[in-house]
Structure 1
Amino acid sequence: MSSSRPLEAPADAAERRAVKPVICYPNGTLPEPDMDLIDRLRTTLEKIGDIVVPPREGATFSVPKGHFFRILSIDGPQVGDLNLWNADDLTERFFSGKTRALHATHVTTGNRLWSTLPNLRPMATITHDTLGWYGFDEFGGSVHDVIGTRCDPYTSRLLSGGDYHHCCHSNLTRALAGAKGMSFAEAEPLVHDVLNVFMCTGFTADTHQYFMKASPVRPGDYIEFFAEIDLLGGLSACPGGDCSAQHSSDTAICYPLKVEVFRPDMDLLKDWPFPERNGYRDPE
């Protein structure tokens, strides 16, 4: 919300506003995943592992290239913050801003999660989304956004003056540090903007502020991904629960989330075009 005083509009204001928009990144040339093959692979899945992420905590998990993973609601409506790293190179990680620019503010089946520059390749493809029916509601809200950053203790202190230690940023940092034998200070710069799994968000029509509302997720709902590279994932069960009222809170009702990892029939993947790092190189 802006606090600046309104200015008188110029005489040609209506003409300027009437200019038609242009899509910044036309994506018609993006290589599309073979969803028919994905569907065949999904019929062969064998679960090889799972973890439960406790409420207001974070955890990491590993997904080999060519495998699938699901994030599930199990006990009650709960949103989660997802980080993804290249398991062999933590400097390559999920790039929410470019994913948003290439796809949309909210992602679903068939969309891909892209990695940071200079790599810029799909890290994972969304293969199934039980909330894909939601679309956009009357408030402009939708689920699985790549708009928000992640709740963090620095913004919490900025806005409230208090310290809160179970923000998603902190949960993800502690989880990564524990998994890789790092200190908190070493892990923190590697934690990045997230996919807000199950979170229902948008922008208000009047002030254009980022909003959240009660997530439509229910126990049994899940979002599923296909790993395009070897992945290390991080997931925080947000301290806001279903984010119907607040986050960074010890009073919101929170539930655990579950991550399941599956191996498909790998013989079906012999011709899958696993992505290489982006080919651009500066001529110097």
Structure 2
Amino acid sequence: MATRALVVGGTGGIGYAIACRIASESKSSTVIISGRNKPQEIPHANMEFRPLDASSMRCIKQYTDAYKLAPEGGKDRSLDLLVLTQGILTMAGRTETPEGIDRKMALHYYGRQLLIRELLPVLKDDAKVLVVLDGVRGGPPNKLNWDDLDLKRSYGLGSAANHCISMNDAMVQAYAARQQQQEGGPRRHFVHAYPGVVQTNIASSLPWYLRPAAQAVSHLLAVSADTCAEHMIRGTRECAAAGEKEGRFWSCIDDKGRLVASKPAWGEEQMNKIEEHTWKVIDDAINKTLPS
């Protein structure tokens, strides 16, 4: 079955493995991979690379605006699958982008939400959106600092992880809820996935004294990126099919692609607050006057 997919963060690691697996399923598929640097190898003829700095809200807006322009020759740009895997492993404290957002949170949360929002018009009615971060450990709302959701005043590595994970949880539910409010609307399925420990080169970004321990853990516990990709794709498809029968259009899945059935539902007021915060931070960043 032909699939048109966009994989952001698809130039390495899990994202690259997901892109390659989708491309290999059908020669009729089209897979766009986007990230900062073009991979050394693009192994399938139906894969293409488009550069994107996914830490910049302004770059993301320019990228999505260009994507949505009427294509030459009437080529359909509607997407069956949007996959968001961009991220960074760092032990540094709050490190702001020129737009005033912590780089880790820009990659793991804000940029992902902007990509979804801006690409909704080109997502097919039965499209699937896969956010790969941690669909298992997202805590209840009381884990959030509601007075400092972007952690300008209370940043820590643990709090940044909790906020990105939990707010992604809330947003996949919010997208599904807004969709269900439209009578006869689309049936897109939004998935937040936990990939587990995966064999990638991301540990190379750690300080030198932490790399041996990270490599040892990877050797003992990690699965290959291709195995992880198989679990993520299968889990997304299975949850989407089961969810449609149940009238549920969001899922969280674990590292084997299994539904996390115990995830709590977020309240309407909580989702509203997170949405309002998210779009304010993002739109302020887009409209920010940057130093020349």
Q: Per the shorter chain, which TM-score range? A: under 0.3
- Compare relative contact order (CA 8 Å, sep 6+) and give the higher one, 1 or 2: 1
Give the number of the structure whose alpha-carbon radius of gyration is greater.
1
TM-score when scaled to structure 1? 0.25
